[in-house]
Amino acid sequence: MWQAETVRARLLELYPHSTVEILGMTTRGDQILDRTLSKVGGKGLFVKELEVAMEEGRADLAVHSLKDVPMELPEGFTLAAVLEREDPRDAFVSNQYDSLEALPPGAVVGTSSLRRQALIAARFPQLQIHPLRGNLDTRLAKLDRGEYAAIILAAAGLKRLGMAERIRAFIDPAQSLPSPGQGAMAIEIRSGRNELVQLLAPLNHAETEQAVRAERQLSRSFGGSCQIPLAAYATVDQHALTLTAMVATPDGKRIARAEVHGAAATPEAVGVQVAQALEAQDATAILAACRTD
State the catalytic residues: 68
Which residues, other chains included, contact 199 with Cβ-Cβ below 8 Å and sequence gap of 6+?
Answer: 11, 14, 15
Among residues 267, 203, 272, the alpha carbon closest in space to that of 239 is found at 267
Report the alpha-carbon distance of residue 85 to residue 88 in Å, rounded.
Answer: 7
H-type alpha helices, 15-154: 28-31, 37-40, 48-55, 114-123, 136-144
Among residues 244, 212, 245, 243, the alpha carbon closest in space to that of 228 is found at 245
Report the alpha-carbon distance of residue 119 to residue 252 in Å, rounded.
Answer: 6
DSSP symbols for 235-262: EEETTEEEEEEEEE-TTSSSEEEEEEEE
Q: If DSSP codes are grouped into helix, strand and coil, which group holds residue 230?
A: strand
Report the alpha-carbon distance of residue 112 to residue 34 in Å, rounded.
Answer: 11
Strands (E) located in the chain: 61-65, 77-82, 90-93, 108-110, 128-130, 150-154, 169-171, 185-190, 230-237, 240-248, 255-263
The conformational region for residue 252 under phi > 0 = left, psi -120 to 50 = alpha, else beta, is left
